[in-house]
Structure 1
Amino acid sequence: MKKNNYGNNAPSNAIYGLGLIGAAVYFISHATSFWMGLIGFLKALVWPAFLIYEALKAVGA
């Protein structure tokens, strides 16, 4: 019988979740309208992509 190991990713999921909440609060609090707040929420969903892009740009890759 195969055992599922879903608990192995718990720490990384927690960090991503906290980052998602923090990014959503940041982007929405800086929004000047409803639509900018909505775009801020969408940005919060993909914040790791922005982070990796800027990191790779900084190292010249």
Structure 2
Amino acid sequence: MSNGGSAAAGGGAIYGIGIFGAIVYYWQVADGFWEHVGAFFQGLVWPAFMVYEGFQALGA
């Protein structure tokens, strides 16, 4: 019997690629040392920003 572990691993890989892509994006638009440091952390928590902006757009 399978517990679906392989499906979770695939989702984790996609999430990891998204984090890497977000870090690259924020890194490219950063200007200065501290903005580059912030870009790294923004890339790690980009889903929180996305959800926040989505709720703001819905007026929630």
TM, length-normalised to structure 2: 0.82
Which residue in the other structure is 1:52 paired with?
51
% identical equivalent positions: 44
Partner of 1:22: 21
C-alpha deviation, 1:6, in angstroms: 3.9
Which digits, 9 at most, give the CA deviation of each residue in 1:15-54, with x for residues without a partner?
2111111110011111111111010000000000001111
Whole-Å separation in 1 of the counterparts to 2:13 and 2:51 = 19
Give unmatched runs, 5+ long, in structure 2. none
The gaps in structure 1 that reach 5 residues or longer are none
- Give the RMSD, CA atoms, in angstroms: 1.7
Q: Which runs of 4+ in 1 moved over 3 A?
A: 3-6
Report how many residues are paired: 59
Taking structure 1 as the reference length, the TM-score comes to 0.81
